[in-house]
Structure formats: structure tokens, C-alpha cells
Amino acid sequence: MEHNISVNEAALRTGKSVATVRRLLAAGKLSGEKIGGHWVVHADRLPSSPAGPSVSASGPKLDSRAAIRFLMKTDRKELWIPDVLNWEDVRADPSSAISVATGKCSTGQADPFETVEVPKGPLLSRAGVLLSFEDRLAYQMLCAVVAPQIDAVLAERVFSSRLNKRPGSFFVSPFNQYKLFIETVETVAGSTKWVVSTDLVSYFETISHELLFEDLRDLRVRDEIMRPLRLLLGSWRRASRTGLPVGPDASRLLGNFFLNKIDQQMLEEGFDYYRYMDDVRIVVSSEREGRAALRRFEVLCRARGLIVTGTAKSKIEKSDPDSRVKDDAQFEWIEYAMRNSLDESRKVLREMFSDALSEKVVKRRHARFALIRLGKLVDRRVLAKVLRRLEELSEVSKDSVYYLRSFISERHVQTAITKYLERPEEPGLEKYQEAWLIAVMLEVLNAPPAEWISYARRIAWDANQPTYLRNLAFNLVALGHDPRDIERIVEIAESNYESSLVRGAIVALARVQKFSRRTQGSVLARHPALKGTVEYLKQRRSLPSLVQEGLWNTIKSAP
């Protein structure tokens, strides 16, 4: 796939001047083309470059193994779209990913990526950037180097994304930190003061790269870290040069740091200020003082290109510690009841789920909480409601299919999903929801319905569909065991040049024991970077569930 970059970026990557890059392009010594009177460079044909000093023992140390552990523990659980192997091939043999990612930590060269529109409420969406594993790994490795410097300058009143000093997770438990954030504000405010509550509009998408790297330079972060990091972020946000990819812990680290100057200014000016990422609380003595505090915060944010949320979400209210206790009591009681095997938890969870769907806007927190726990309990009392309300539940598709997994082999469930997929309405299903529905269809214990196979074919053979969706569709098509379908998947595996698409195809073939030695050899000849995946699939008798971590699906031969 051709991947174009600007002349300026090519100069950075090759260590040459902009003028030299233009001369090389004009002389045909560098691959590129003129579009609209301006040169663009073909990044995939860019010669290897000195790219500045590499990160070595004398400079910051990159810890690839720790980075992989963090990705497996956190990022993998928060993927926008299920990976066809849930990264198990990388876990089994990370050597190739480490080699590629380490190179990226010097060159800053990003892989091509896709985006998926993730529903955000009934009307809007957020853009989920689907980074390759190697890009994620390089991003985490680079950010982990600067993490101690960043954490050291954050105010104590910043509770989000604090570095874990003990082995384990990259950050201290976000659940515990958010709880501490709320409890601290409540304790300070008591029942006599007022609390300003506000947040920022599309925070991660509006972070200025220019200001972010000025702040990192002020921390004296080394150029051999800054340069590849800036190139990676610039590639992922080429159009605007603002914003961080939402999801990775590395983005949380940088996003938390970007507000540091505002934190320090608010505290220096005497405001009783607390923050969890872009969720801000200011304790004040009166409503009038609250308005002044909110306006000052807005002015500081505006100077950094950030937008404070409107009056619908920004609030100045008299402190009421009892209100949160009432809100959280139900969640805490359910957790207690489940730990102690109390059957009453089922009833309360069903009521919570019904309440989550009782208004025009789905109560996302309640719906997720209930669906995950009802799924663990294999409680079928809300099954009919889930199937009827799939469209409204698109925002929580991942949790919906987790619940449905236990029932996916039942004929009436399959019929309901088929009817949902075949609805004639426009604009049709969200790609995000389609991906998760196909993932749960792969959990079926018997032969998938013919309608599902036909539906998957329409996606699999359509080159205009996103790669992530085609990869999942290949796997569902393969479960139909039609020789003509298998032949087409083999052709893609053996002849396609897009390695991510080939990876999806060979997983589909392995799923039905059709990953032949010939195909293995052909794939390795074209895509040596897939060696770890090929070796992993050769020895598998089962493949990981894409819906529930820790479960495995037996590889099925043709009936």
C-alpha cells in the first residue's frame, strides 16, 4: 500500500535538508510525485536513513519486554476492534514485533492504519485509530522512557495515570485512583462548600503536538526519544498535527502531562483544584467564586487550544457527599453479592440493565456493568431484551457480545441476529458493531447459519471494506467449509501484498485445518514478518476466543 508523506517529514526521516529532498525528487533519485504543484514522497520506498542517534546504552533505555507485558495487560483489553488472534501469536513469539518496534524507535516510521467510528451516544462518534501491534509497542517503549520524568512533575492533586512504582501494571489502578479523586474532593468540600465540575470537549483529539513537544523539551527529554515520537504521532494525525490516538496507555501518559501547565497555574493562583485526566473539580466557597474559577480555567485551556465543555456538563453545585454514596451503593452491593454467591444480585443486575435502557440515551456505565456480570452468571432473563435492543446497544457492542456468547449456538438467538443483520434501513450497521457481532458468531458450536455465511461473504470479497472487518469475515466464511470460499481465501493468503490482510486469511484457513504447507511457504516468502504467526498457527489445535479472554475455540475440520 502506497503511503505518502510530506517533503518536510521525509527530510526529518532521512536526516537531509528540505532542499536536498526536493532536488532528489526532481532528479528521480527519491520516489515521489507532484500533486497539486507540491511534492509528496512515497514513504514505503524511502531509503533507510541515519535517522539521528539510536537509543542506546548511553542514553535512555528501551524496555521492550516490559512494554509487551503492559500492552498485554491493558491495551489488549481495550481494543476498539477484536484482533483475529487476540495477539496470542505475538505473546508466543514476540521477537519479530520487538525487532520491528525497536527500529521504529529510531526511525519513527509508522505503519499504515485504519480508523473506526465508535458510537458515542445516540448521535455522535469518536474516531478509534487502529494501530499495528508494532506501532503500539514502539509508542509504549518511547513513552515509558519519559514516564518517570512526567510523573515527577505532576501535582499531587492529579489522580489520573500515575506511574506504578511496583512491578505489574504501567499505572496505579485507575479504578482506585478515580475513587480516591472523588472521595478527596468530597472530604475537602464537606457539606458546606460548592464544587465546580467540568471537563474538556474531545480532549485527546485536540492536544497540540507543537505545545506537547515544547513541554517535553522543557523536561529535557532527549532528542532520540522526542524525534521518533513526534514522527509517529504526526503520521497518525497527519491532517491536523493535533491529537493522540485514543486507547493506549502511552496516550494517557502524554494526555495527562499536557494539562500540567494549567494544573500548576490554577494551583499557583490559589484555586482548590483537583483533576482526573480531563475531569476537573474545583472546591469553592460560593457560586460566584465558582463562576470565576471556571472562567479562569477556560481562559487557560483556550490558550492551549482546548475547549471546555458547555453549560450542559459544566456545573457549580452545593457539595452533597451523600449523592455519590447513593449512586455507588448499588454497584458496590452487587459486587459484594457476587463475591458471596448471593442470588439477589441477579435481580438487581436485571433491574439495572432495564433502567439503563429506560431513557432515550443509554446509561453506558450501568449497561456495561450489568451486561458483563449477567454474562458471567449466564443469566438469560434479559436475553430477549438484548436481542431486541441491539441497535441502541451499539455503543456497548463489546459488552453485549460478551453477554451473548453463552447463547450464540441457540437457534432462536441466531435467527434474531440474522434478522438484525438483514434489516433494510440506511445507513446500516456501524462497522464497530459489525466487527463485534462477527467475533461472537465465531463462537458458535455448531455450523453457522447459511445466512451468516452469505453475510460474511459480502464483506470478505469486497475490497472496499476495511481490512479489520474483512479479516473477521474471512474467519466466518471459512466456517461454512465451502471449497470455493476456501480457495479464494487461499488465493488471498498466497498472493496479496497487504500483510495484515494475509494474517487474517491464514488464521481463517487454520481455523478449518486448511493452512497447507504450500500456503505457509508462500506466505513466508512474501511476508517474512509473519513468521511468528505462521509458526503459532502450525501447532495450534484451538484458537483464542475474541470475545472472552481465557477461552479457546477448537479448530474445526470439514464435516
Coarse DSSP helix, strand, coil percentages of the chain, rounded to the nearest 5 percent: 55, 10, 35
Q: Please say whether the dihedral angle defined by the alpha carbons of residues 63, 85, 471 and 538, taken in this order, is positive or negative.
A: positive
Which cell numbers in the block locate residue 97?
Answer: 514485533
φ/ψ of 281, rounded to 5, equals -130, 135
Domain boundaries, given as residue ranges, for the chain: 2-43, 58-318, 319-406, 430-548
pTM comes to 0.86
Q: Would you state the pLDDT for residue 422? A: 87
Name all contacts of 10-16 with Cβ < 8 Å and 24+ positions apart: 10/41, 10/43, 10/46, 12/108, 12/227, 12/231, 13/43, 13/46, 13/49, 13/51, 13/107, 13/108, 13/109, 13/231, 14/46, 14/47, 14/49, 14/50, 14/51, 15/49, 15/50, 15/51, 15/52, 16/49
Bridge partner residues of 280 (DSSP): 198, 275
pLDDT tens, N- to C-terminus, the chain (559 residues): 345 677 766 766 676 777 788 888 888 888 888 876 778 788 767 775 443 334 443 455 899 999 999 999 989 989 999 999 999 999 999 999 999 999 999 999 999 999 999 988 888 888 899 999 999 999 999 999 999 999 999 999 999 999 998 877 899 999 899 999 999 999 999 888 999 999 999 999 999 999 999 999 999 999 999 999 999 999 998 777 899 999 899 999 999 999 999 999 999 999 999 999 999 999 999 999 999 999 999 999 999 999 999 866 688 888 776 555 555 666 777 777 777 767 788 988 999 999 999 988 899 999 999 999 999 999 999 999 999 999 999 999 999 999 999 999 999 999 999 999 988 654 556 899 999 999 999 999 999 999 999 999 999 999 999 999 999 999 999 999 999 999 999 999 999 999 999 999 999 999 999 999 999 999 999 999 999 999 999 988 899 999 998 888 877 666 6
Q: Would you state the pLDDT for residue 8? A: 65
Q: Would you state the pLDDT for residue 193? A: 92
Burial 201-224 (b: 16+ CB within 10 A, else e): ebbbebbbbebbbebbeeeebeeb
Report the alpha-carbon distance of residue 181 to residue 175 in Å, rounded: 10
Q: What is the DSSP letter of 273?
A: E
Q: Would you state the pLDDT for residue 211? A: 97
Q: What is the DSSP letter of 81?
A: S
Q: What is the DSSP letter of 270?
A: T
Amino acid, res. 228: P
Burial 166-192 (b: 16+ CB within 10 A, else e): eeeebbbebeebeeebbebbbeebeee
Q: Would you state the pLDDT for residue 1? A: 38
Q: Which residues contact 496 (CB under 8 A, 6 or more apart)?
A: 502, 505
Planar angle of CA 28, 528, 136, nearest 5 degrees: 85
Report the alpha-carbon distance of residue 371 to residue 222 in Å, rounded: 46
Which cell numbers in the block locate residue 80?
Answer: 476498539
Cβ neighbours, 10 Å, residue 287: 12
